[in-house]
């Protein structure tokens, strides 16, 4: 066990009584699909503050090229969607979560239509439904071809602005969740934050919703924006929440691979339209790897690319769209990016390689959006609901954010008013959702006398080490090596007190890397998007969830059917 991660409760020393105080009924941390939908739901019943660590419209959601899945087409059904999701999930999906989220999905989509979201439509006016990997039906809705996330964020922001009680704090970094004590089960009462203009401040809240997204920036190759540093998982872990299944990180098979260029996503919908993956010789290799070819689950495609490069050499493969008509009209954003690098998809195969894309593991959440810590709710990529199991089915994530965001927002507002039937405690410190006199919280941290270390070097080295040692294909030796590396960097980073987001992000990334390495080392099998060269097959002994809690010697192993047991840390 890496003691540095488990000894640290807060990132900075503070006394809440000496800092500026802000009060609200519900605090939402994150401005992606889950955070915005949660704010809309909670804002209908009380005051809401929404935090964005950067500009409010920068999120994984806003960058999403893929669509929103929903069983809306002829011949399709929620049951078919559930079967596809369970098949992709490698035996670790929680069936009640799959059923609840996918059955409620169509209503959330219809709600978006009513709110003015501009989904792509067919010539007859009906919603256009596309196909993506491992889906048995055409059930993926897009907007502006490959700009679904951007249009979704626009729609949700427009709705949120219509709600008087919703306030947005941009460029406001949440450092840690506040609890009145460090005892197990101590309720979350808000967060300590750092605003780029106003500095440190305390936001007291009757309920707090984490919707901070994933942790793709822990890897050198990633499709995620720079804000995806795993802050929500890290601060929930420090506050005593349960974190599950961190070994499962989904890698997107096709990101633009050009030396020195950002790893721009090339949507799975491109393969859904009939694009081929070819190697350096022009050979199409996916039909040899899986019966579904390019539409196999993402872990299968990513691993096939890695093996092809290992066996045949080279730094990348190619996505061939030269045979597709109207590529620029169907995927205008992708075509524009390619054009900026002098690539013509009608003439040039697109150089691609896998990159970290989606954090499947996260803070354990029941189907009311509740974590195991009173007053703390989670929704979206930061959460582990059991929907995705060991491998996320394409385009299920935006749907999960919509469904669970609404559920968490409504449950949080009920908690602040004492009406939440699933809550373990009344809203401690609050009366009918109106802020009372909060307790004083004190954090005393005394930095060690360890030497200094360059933060940019730590981040760069961590991301490279995670990519090589805890990436698409793993071995026990490489996982042990990266754990040792993280332990070393932690000695010189986690003992420091930083005064800006760069330092706090580095500390969070080290914790995320350690959790991934721990989980992957424990899971001595290959399942879903966790591929071990030393254990290439699924092992029934690991058909379970690994739950991690700060201060524990190792994971609690929980059967699939009981992921949502809300045992206290």
What CATH number labels 455-551?
Answer: 1.20.58.100
Q: Which two tokens stand for residue 480?
A: 């042990």
- Model pTM score: 0.93
d(CA 172, CA 164): 21
Active site residue 298: yes
Q: Are strands 350-359 and 317-320 parallel, antiparallel or unpaired?
A: antiparallel
Domain 253-354 identical in fold to domain 455-551: no
Burial of 217-235, coded b for 16+ CB within 10 Å and e otherwise, reads: bbbbbbbbbebbbbbbbbb
DSSP 119: -
Of 37, 99, 298, 474, the catalytic one is 298
- Check: CB of residue 275 under 8 Å from CB of residue 267: no
CA separation (Å) from 170 to 198, 202, 226, 308, 314?
11, 15, 16, 44, 43
Per-residue pLDDT of the chain (569 residues; tens, 9 = 90+): 445 677 789 999 999 999 999 999 999 999 999 999 999 999 999 999 999 998 877 777 777 777 999 999 999 999 999 999 999 999 999 999 999 999 999 999 999 999 999 999 999 999 999 988 789 999 999 998 878 989 999 999 999 999 999 999 999 999 999 999 988 889 999 999 999 889 999 999 999 999 999 999 999 999 999 999 999 999 999 999 999 999 999 999 999 999 888 888 898 889 989 999 999 999 999 999 999 999 888 888 999 999 999 988 888 999 999 999 999 999 998 999 999 999 999 999 999 999 999 999 999 999 999 999 999 999 999 999 999 999 999 899 999 999 999 999 999 999 988 765 554 333 333 333 334 446 789 998 876 777 778 999 999 999 999 999 999 999 999 999 999 999 999 988 988 999 999 999 999 999 999 999 999 999 999 999 999 998 999 999 999 999 999 999 899 999 887 676 643 33
Does the 253-354 domain belong in CATH 3.90.700.10?
yes
**Domain residues of the chain, as ranges?**
253-354, 455-551
Phi/psi at 140 (nearest 5 deg)? -105, 120
Query: With 0-12 CB in 10 A as exposed, 13-18 as middle and 19+ as buried, what is 18?
Result: exposed
Q: Which residues, listed in sequence order, are joined to residue 39 by a DSSP beta bridge?
A: none
């Amino acid at each position: 066990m890496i003691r540095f991660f488990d000894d640290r409760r807060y990132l900075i020393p503070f006394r809440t009584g000496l800092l500026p105080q802000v009060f609200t009924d519900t605090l939402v941390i994150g401005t992606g699909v889950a955070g915005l939908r949660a704010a809309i739901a909670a804002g209908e019943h009380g005051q809401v503050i929404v935090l964005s660590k950067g500009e409010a419209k920068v999120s994984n959601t806003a960058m999403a090229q893929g669509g929103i899945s929903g069983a809306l087409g002829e011949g399709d059904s929620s049951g078919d969607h559930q079967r596809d999701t369970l098949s992709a999930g490698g035996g670790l999906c929680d069936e009640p979560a799959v059923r609840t989220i996918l059955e409620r999905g169509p209503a959330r989509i219809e709600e978006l239509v009513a709110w003015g979201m501009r989904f792509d439509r067919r010539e007859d006016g009906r919603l256009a439904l596309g196909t993506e990997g491992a889906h048995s039906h055409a059930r993926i809705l897009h907007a502006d071809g490959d700009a679904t996330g951007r249009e979704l964020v626009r729609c949700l922001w427009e709705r949120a602005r219509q709600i008087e009680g919703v306030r947005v704090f941009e460029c406001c970094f949440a450092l840690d969740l506040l609890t009145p004590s460090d005892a197990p089960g101590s309720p979350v009462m808000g967060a300590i934050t750092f605003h780029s203009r106003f500095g440190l401040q305390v936001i007291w809240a009757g309920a707090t919703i984490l919707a901070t997204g994933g942790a793709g920036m822990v890897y050198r190759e990633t499709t995620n924006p720079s804000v995806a540093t795993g802050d929500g998982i890290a601060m929930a872990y420090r506050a005593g929440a349960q974190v599950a299944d961190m070994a499962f990180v989904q890698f997107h098979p096709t990101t633009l691979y050009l030396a020195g260029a950002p790893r721009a996503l090339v949507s799975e919908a491109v393969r859904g339209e009939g694009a081929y993956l070819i190697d350096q010789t022009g050979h199409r290799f996916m039909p040899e790897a899986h019966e579904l070819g390019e539409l196999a689950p993402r872990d299968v495609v990513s691993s096939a690319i890695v093996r092809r490069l290992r066996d045949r050499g080279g730094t990348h493969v190619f996505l061939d769209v030269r045979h597709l008509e109207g590529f620029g009209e169907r995927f205008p954003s992708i075509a524009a990016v390619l054009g900026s690098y002098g690539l013509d998809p009608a003439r040039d195969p697109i150089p691609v390689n896998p990159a970290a894309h989606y954090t499947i593991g996260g803070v354990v959440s029941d189907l009311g959006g509740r974590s195991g810590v009173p007053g703390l709710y989670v929704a979206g990529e930061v959460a582990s609901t059991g929907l995705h199991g060991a491998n996320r089915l394409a385009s299920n994530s935006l749907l999960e954010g919509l469904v669970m965001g609404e559920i968490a927002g409504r449950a949080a507002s009920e908690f602040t008013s004492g009406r939440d039937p699933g809550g373990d405690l009344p809203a401690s410190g609050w009366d009918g959702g109106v802020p009372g006199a909060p307790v004083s919280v004190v954090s005393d941290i005394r930095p060690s006398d360890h030497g200094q270390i360059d933060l940019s070097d730590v981040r760069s080295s961590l991301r490279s080490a995670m990519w090589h040692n805890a990436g698409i294909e793993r071995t026990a030796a490489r996982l042990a090596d990266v754990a040792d590396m993280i332990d070393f960097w932690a000695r010189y980073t986690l003992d420091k007190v930083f005064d800006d987001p760069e330092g706090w992000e580095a500390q969070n990334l080290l914790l995320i890397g350690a959790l991934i390495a721990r989980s992957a080392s424990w899971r001595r099998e290959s399942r879903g998007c966790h591929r071990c060269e030393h254990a290439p097959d699924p092992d029934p002994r690991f058909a379970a969830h690994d739950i991690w809690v700060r201060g524990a010697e190792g994971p609690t192993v929980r059967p699939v059917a009981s992921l949502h047991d809300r045992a206290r840390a």
